[in-house]
Structure 1
Amino acid sequence: MSSSRFIITVIGIDKVGIVAGITQTMAEYNVNIVDISQTIMDDLFTMIMLAQITEENFDLSAFQQAMSEKGTALGVEVKVQHEDAFRFMHRI
């Protein structure tokens, strides 16, 4: 991987504890938030984060699985994409 940054998206019905639960899992994997945007549209919660790691041997698939499981527990959809893959998929 040429970058150590990830795009994390969270979407679901708003309720207490979403940000706390997501960031707790990120902290467990030593993932730092570089930038964050969050909004609530009616009752729909949306959040996108640019996150970064410093570990050389970071297990991305384990982190993706943990974030997905946390999302399921919170009733939201969580996607983690490596920045390079995200940029490639969203280029014009």
Structure 2
Amino acid sequence: MAKAVVTVIGKDKPGIIAGVSRTLAEHDINILDVSQTIMSDIFTMSMLVNLEKLDEEFNKLQNDLNHLGKKLNVEIHTQREEIFDAMSRI
């Protein structure tokens, strides 16, 4: 299964989870696991997502999430699972 990790960090405000989830759904991406917390007034979230049904290039997904991050004034990073696997072998 092709997976990726999506991380979000920024000042807490309504709509962050909704916006990220909506963008993933528009790309036909299923959320496998999610963890979120608010530390003081800083929102942090990590998602493990399934990329198997990604009908577009991965870069398009990254661009759409980056655009959303700018709109919401948060940082959104998306990395394929293979990156984490490769780092653990070093």
Query: Same-fold call, TM > 0.5?
Result: yes
TM-score by length of 1: 0.89
Question: Pairwise CA RMSD of aligned residues?
Answer: 1.5
What is residue 36 of structure 2 aligned with on the other side? 38
Which runs of 5 or more structure 1 residues have no equivalent in the other structure?
none
User: Per the alignment, in what secondary structure is the counterpart of residue 16 of structure 1?
Assistant: coil
- Provide closer, same or farther for how the CA distance between residues 56 and 25 of structure 1 changes in structure 2, counting only shifts above 3 A: closer
What is residue 15 of structure 1 aligned with on the other side? 13
Moved over 4 A (4+): none
The number of residues matched between the two structures is 89
Which runs of 5 or more structure 2 residues have no equivalent in the other structure?
none
Looking at structure 2, the residues matched to 38 and 80 of structure 1 have their Cα atoms a distance apart, in angstroms, of 16
Looking at structure 2, the residues matched to 53 and 77 of structure 1 have their Cα atoms a distance apart, in angstroms, of 21
Could you give the per-residue CA deviations for residues 38-75 of structure 1, whole angstroms, max 9, x where no partner exists?
A: 00000000000000022375410000000111111011
Quote how far apart the aligned CAs of 1:20 are: 0.5
User: Does structure 1 conserve the Cα–Cα contact (< 8 Å) formed by 2:16 and 2:72?
Assistant: yes
Superposed counterparts of 1:67-86, under 5 Å: 67-86=65-84
User: Does structure 1 conserve the Cα–Cα contact (< 8 Å) formed by 2:2 and 2:50?
Assistant: yes
**Percent identical:** 42
- Provide closer, same or farther for how the CA distance between residues 66 and 39 of structure 1 changes in structure 2, counting only shifts above 3 A: same
TM-score by length of 2: 0.91
